[in-house]
Chains A and B, each alone.
Chain A
Amino acid sequence: MNMTPNFLSRAFRSLALPALACGLICAAAATAFGQAKETPRVDHWVFDEASLKNGVLTPAQGGQTAAILGQIRFSDDMGGAMMFDGVETTAQVGADITKVKLPESALTIEAWVRIDRAGKWGGIFSALQDNGDYEKGLLLGLHDSHFCFGLAAQSSTQITYLQSKSSYEPGSWHHVAGVYDGTEMRIYVDGVLNGSSDAQKGKIVYPPDGWVMLGAYRDKDEYYKLHGELREVKLTHRALSQQEITEAFKLRANMIPEGLILDAGPFIQLSKPSNATVTWRTQVPAARADLLLRPSRPKNLVQFGKHEDRMTYLYGHPPKSHTVELDSLDPNQIYTMTLYGPLQPDGPRSKARYEFDSSLNYAQEPGPAVAQPFGKQAVPDLFRHAEFPKQLRTDAGYALLLGAGDGRGAFAMARVSKLRVIAVEPDAAIADNARQLLDSVGYHGMRVSVWDKPLTGLPLGPYAMNLIVCESAIRDGKPVLKLEEIAKALRPEGGIALLSGAADDAGAMAKLKEWAAPLAAGQTGYSLQSIEIAGRSYLKITRGRMPGAGWWTHQYGQADNASTSGDKLITGSELDLLWWGRPGARPMPDRGARNPAPLAAGGRLYIQGDRILFGQDAYNGTILWSMIVPELRRTNLPRCSANMAADDDSLFIAARHWAARIDGDTGKIDPDKDIFLVPTPAEGNRKYEWGYLAREGKLLIGSSVRAGSFYMGDDGEWYDTPGAEDVGRITSDELFAYHKDAPRLAWRHRKGVILNSTITIADGVIYFIESRSELAAKATSGRLLKEVSDKQFMVALDAATGAPKWEKPVNLPGFDRMTYLSFTNMTLTVVGSSAKEYSIKAYDAGAGSDLWNTKFPISKDHHGGAIQHPVLLGDAIYCEQRAYDLRTGKLLRTDLPERRGCGTMSASASTFFYRHHHHGLWDLNTNKRLEFQGIRSGCWLGILPAGGVVLAPETSSGCSCTHSIQTSAAFVPRKAK
């Protein structure tokens, strides 16, 4: 199905009808109108609880029932409405269209509807078949962000889809009506005429078979389900007048709840297996916070928990920030959460509704709350002391206890933390006893695993241990451990070992220091410290950053968009698995959907799923925290910029009109300190959302995008061929900088309309391309294409002050599909493509002078083959299957690896990663390529060479083909120490 804006070009085809036919049709229409005036039939379905019995909706008028398919849920909006989940829920008036009484010559189809999520197509009422070459029937529905009214009559062989001029507001209630009087189609939104067409004339023509649906567009080929709500649908066999439509709108207009606009959030932190902490910030201080929580399956309500579904908090001093703890959540439930605005003296309160899926809660089960089985004085002093937890950077991950004894230390360690403990005991009988004791209180297995093995020569892979403890590291005056084993097992970026000798061995510390000294000699990344806990001395070995490790802090590596981490540890092609596991496919967007790449910094991996975030230990895969952010969604990155950035301590995210700083270890947000708002003021109907996001020095850089412009990709859109040249770019009206540690503006810049995909930061300078065309400035949307192809300038600003450094006009023909700007070695490259060829232009970053340009044919015009992002590494730019000298443009090679999939490449200092049939690797030094069979990534950038390891979160989600394994995984060079 294809359609042009407002109404279809195909609608005009009927104008060529012979005059005789037109006359006949007009006569027929007049007759129909006359008949309708006498006894118009009305079918009226009201979607409230009172009308539903045993899954069947009894109509308020007309006698034609509707069977509800899928989950049934109601909201209290508009006096009661049914929620349609976009997946299962629909209402079927009939599976045989010939048995449903449908209007013949004139009609009005009206609905009160709320659209929560846009789709390419959607249905409110459908009775049609549209094959492209066979089009008949009737539709009231939506197309992208507009309502549409489709109809085929005798005068045409095709359906005219009349589209409303105005777009609907997601999450808001609208009255929409389609009217056909036999000669003209009209569409009304909220009582106002929003479009008309005279392309159809005569009796309505329906297909001979098919469905009549409410809340869905369904024919033999397509089934688009509504994601939103319906209050009522009314089908009148007569064309209502403008006045009647307006009256129908006014009848319920006063019940439309105002949408609650939050300052930021909500953030739903999944802190415990059956708990969630909800945080949000209101725009003005509120004297009360109201939250309504309802499960999707009412039959499970009994499991919902001990609290009421509605929570109200009253404050003495009205705050803007609100936090509510939800407990006893069903672990496998879709919840609908409604936040309410201030009480209104008259009319409904403003509210905002969100969904979250509690099955995505990966918080670790605590050990059973039981009495310990070791007697009163059993727990070793170390683990009882308040100082012990303080030594840990986080209390989650893996711990190795060398010398487990009867398991009491391991038990204590597990009780005071979320660590999974590997307790090693060389004596088999003692080990078995420890297992029995731990099992008796439910701690063996998930929390503590006991290995009856010697303390050395353990079969451990590298980097896994956040904590290693041995309180008998010196025996008979000699170290009993192997230093290189301890060093290798420790997690970089903060893993610690606490080692001591026997409590009465006064010389143990000196011996341990001597033994461990080689670790700290030179630039090794290890440090040694003597500490005292509970009166006992411990040697503390801390493993810091591995020398040569590079991180992936922005969408394309760094803010320079070079798609490299610079990591020098990932070399060669011999990699082993380091870890695998969650998150799996469930929380991820379909095939990655060209959404923001995962990021990695400071030993953590940050993954953006479908409106959910995960903070993960990069070295052992432990999920440190997870948080549902219902507003966090962005796709089509080749025409946009990402909504995440990271540094060693924090992750920054952007959604709607705000950005937030999240603590990297805990996932916590302080809503009073960690929220940054778009500073660009609204101009009439033009409001702004946060676009670009980067961390630069002590600043957080952002940009303002006209609201409603971002691609959401919820319906499996790929923005690939065909039509890749017509996909608009996300643009910004303003660049700005905040101090990253406090929401205080540093500078603002506004001149042209900036292409977000070009914003690049390197060496303290921000580079971008902007258009200064009037068309771009005046456009209503920030999703622009031709408007920004004119009057383009490349601009360089001082990142610290926002002051201009240089600018120059640029001419970029042939950059129809995308425009990427990247920086390396004082060279800026612009990469784009047209339908036939790639274009590269290179500039000197110092003053913007031209260096070289080239074009080459695209080799694969599908699966992202023509929108590849380049990799800039050393003195070369690698794009699609070619490499050019960065400064001269000399073609260096044309033998880059073939990629079967639709992703784009990433690189360490010497190795490239990409999606082929499986995860693919290309070693630049040896030209060797290989694949990790059975596992593959998604449709944009999903493999990060960072921190000395290769991080590959699950991004193939949604692909239902039979590749064996869908999991997040990490790989490590075989020679890793």
Chain B
Amino acid sequence: MKFNGRSRFIGIAPFLLALAALAAAPCAASAEDWPQYRKDDSRSGISGDPLPAPLKEIWKLHPPVAPQPAWELEAKADKYSKIYDLTPRQTFDYAHHPVIAGGRVFYGSTSQDKVECLQASDGKRLWVFFTEGPVRFAPVVVGDRVYFGSDDGHVYCLEASSGKLIWKQRPVEQPDRRQPGNERMISAWPIRTGLIVREGMVYGSAGVFPSQGVWAVALKAGDGQVAWRSPVELTTLQGYGLASPGKLYLPAGRNNPVIFERSSGKLERIVEGAGGTWALLAGDQLVFGPGRKGELGNVEPGRSDQLATFSGLHMIVHQGSSYLHSRTQLSALDRTLYLKLASERRTIQAQHSAATERLKKLGKTPPADQARQLRETITSTGAQIDALTRRMGECTKWQVNCDNPYDLIAAGDLLITGGDNRIQAFAMSDGALRWTQPVNGKAYALAAAGGRLLVGTDKGTIHCFGDAR
């Protein structure tokens, strides 16, 4: 059979189009999957699948060695600033974060230097792939491919069904060098961001210390070739990355996240805030923290400053509401109204600050008229700020005590919280406690898909809960 050029094109086109569509999807996972950290590359943490009730532990995996996080807790206190009990800002690897795709569970290990694939139904190991350093971030599963980075300095791409290596790539130009880092013999340029796979590209970073070299990188998902490499000065890049249609957001350890243009790698800006590696994209708004005191900041697109801060460690944004999770409480907030009021307050605050500054510049004996006018502005804007602040305080829909500070996700109509030796579920509608399940350790890593709930703890245990019937 002979093909002319046209007929050949026609024959291949549907396949190419399908491939392109697959590559363009944020992740090629089914609705029942949780194929990467917090479900998607916005890190929404929301599974549409309801969890069955009652839940039962179907299986658990308890590795012989507990996870070995890169960074320990923060200092006990900033006594100079009178801040005690500082919130840890880098907890991304305090547990092994499981992901679920195609009936399989995948996780990376910080203590056993491997990625494992388990059968979701019974926890049976299907394959294991070893690296030469800790794997600190959850793999990303796209179709039959698994992507992850390692402290050995490589980004890996495996076949999801078999665990066979498709490619591995050191994304930096420097010759490989291994040295003791975080108590392990690792690359001088470890992969310290959770990867993003989008539109045929793999995004991440390499390096920890700016003086040694830190780069945001984009690799071609097909063969691992470096598409771009963007150097970062002044800060590290560590934490789970996020992506929007045009931007790449990379957390920066204790520092504030850095925003890049996704197509070129151009560094746009470092946002303002109190630092932290937990981040969420709520539409086009970046939410990140937890800063020094357990606060999440909300940054609007195109800006660096924070429109609002929320007292909390984690957040779920769903249908106009924010579900906030602090060390001791869980609450629901009318997010739409709150941000609208916050925006108004910022405008008024700017007027208030400008008037205050102008009055100050007039000196001790200002012209009476000018001073009076400015004082009136200060007084009236002050009153407006107070009124808006009061209204913002009224945006809370409900608030309940919740002593489970380690993680928060949503599954169906439930909010699942990770605590000390337990997980608890609360109703999204009113915050009512629905159930409690014991787990082994601090539940830092929650994932839900297809009626299953996976829980990773600081002791390394991965629990799988499912239908008790």
Contacts and interface: CB of A to CB of B under 8 A. Distances in A.
A933 B234 contact: yes
Interface residues of B, number: 61
A580 B275 contact: no
A450 B80 CA distance: 46
Given A449-B132, A464-B185, A444 B75 contact: no
A464 B179 contact: yes
Contacts of A935: 209
Contact of A444 (B112, B177, B211): B112
B65 interface: yes
B283 interface: no
Given A445-B112, A622-B180, A958 B254 contact: no
B245 interface: no
Contact of B114 (A370, A439, A714): A439
A304 interface: no
A458 B75 CA distance: 37
Given A442-B63, A935-B209, A965-B253, A960 B74 contact: yes
Nearest to A966: B254
B182 A580 contact: yes
Contacts of A578: 179-180
A452 to B, nearest CB: 9
B84 A932 contact: no
Kindly state the interface size class of chain A when it binds its partner.
35 or more
Nearest to A582: B183
Interface in A553-584: 576-582, 584
B222 to A, nearest CB: 24
Interface in B166-215: 175-185, 188, 208-212
A733 B40 CA distance: 69
Given A88-B85, A445-B114, A464-B185, A965 B209 contact: yes
A622 B184 CA distance: 9
A365 B178 contact: no
B75 A932 contact: no
Contacts of B181: 577, 579-581
A655 interface: no
Contacts of B68: 446
A2 B420 CA distance: 44
Contacts of B64: 368, 370, 441-442
B236 interface: yes
B-side interface mostly: loop
A932 B210 CA distance: 7
Contact of B185 (A365, A422, A610, A969): A422
B208 A442 contact: no
A963 B74 CA distance: 13
Most buried by A among B64, B81, B83, B177: B64
A537 to B, nearest CB: 29
Contacts of A622: 180, 183
Nearest to B234: A933
Contacts of A460: 177-179
Contact of B77 (A87, A222, A441, A581): A87
Interface stretch (A73-81, A470-478, A585-593, A847-855): A585-593
B72 A586 contact: yes
A620 B292 contact: no
A815 to B, nearest CB: 27
Interface in B215-243: 233-236
Given A420-B184, A960-B78, A446 B111 contact: yes
A714 B77 CA distance: 11
Contact of A586 (B74, B210, B253, B256): B74
A957 interface: yes
Given A450-B130, A933-B211, A964-B236, A586 B76 contact: yes
Nearest to A939: B80
Contacts of B279: none
Interface in B246-280: 252-256, 273-275
A620 B72 CA distance: 19
B215 to A, nearest CB: 14
Contacts of B85: 87-88
A590 B185 contact: no
A958 B81 CA distance: 9
Nearest to B253: A964
B183 A621 contact: yes
Nearest to B442: A332
A430 to B, nearest CB: 13
Contact of B236 (A458, A577, A715, A965): A965
Nearest to A716: B79
B113 interface: yes
A441 B188 CA distance: 29
A957 B178 contact: no
Interface string B27-71: 000000000000000000000000000000000000111101001
A590 B78 contact: yes
A591 B179 contact: no
A223 interface: yes
A445 B252 contact: no
Contacts of A88: 84-85
Contacts of B404: none
A920 to B, nearest CB: 11
Nearest to A465: B185
B86 interface: yes
B134 interface: yes
A586 B255 contact: no
B253 A444 contact: no
B130 A464 contact: no
A934 B236 contact: yes
Contacts of B84: 87-88
A610 B77 CA distance: 12
A526 interface: no
Contacts of A621: 180, 183
Contacts of A714: 79
Nearest to A370: B64
Interface of A: 87-88, 222-223, 359, 365, 368, 370, 398, 420, 422, 432, 435-436, 439, 441-442, 444-446, 449-451, 458-461, 464, 576-582, 584-586, 588, 590-591, 610, 620-622, 714-716, 718, 931-935, 957-960, 962-967, 969
Given A577-B209, A580-B208, A585-B72, 7 more contacts: A444-B112, A445-B111, A446-B65, A446-B184, A461-B178, A590-B80, A935-B209
28 contacts: A87-B76, A87-B84, A87-B85, A420-B184, A444-B113, A446-B112, A449-B132, A450-B132, A458-B178, A459-B175, A461-B177, A464-B179, A580-B181, A581-B181, A582-B72, A588-B75, A610-B76, A621-B183, A934-B209, A958-B80, A960-B292, A962-B274, A965-B208, A966-B71, A966-B74, A966-B75, A967-B71, A969-B209
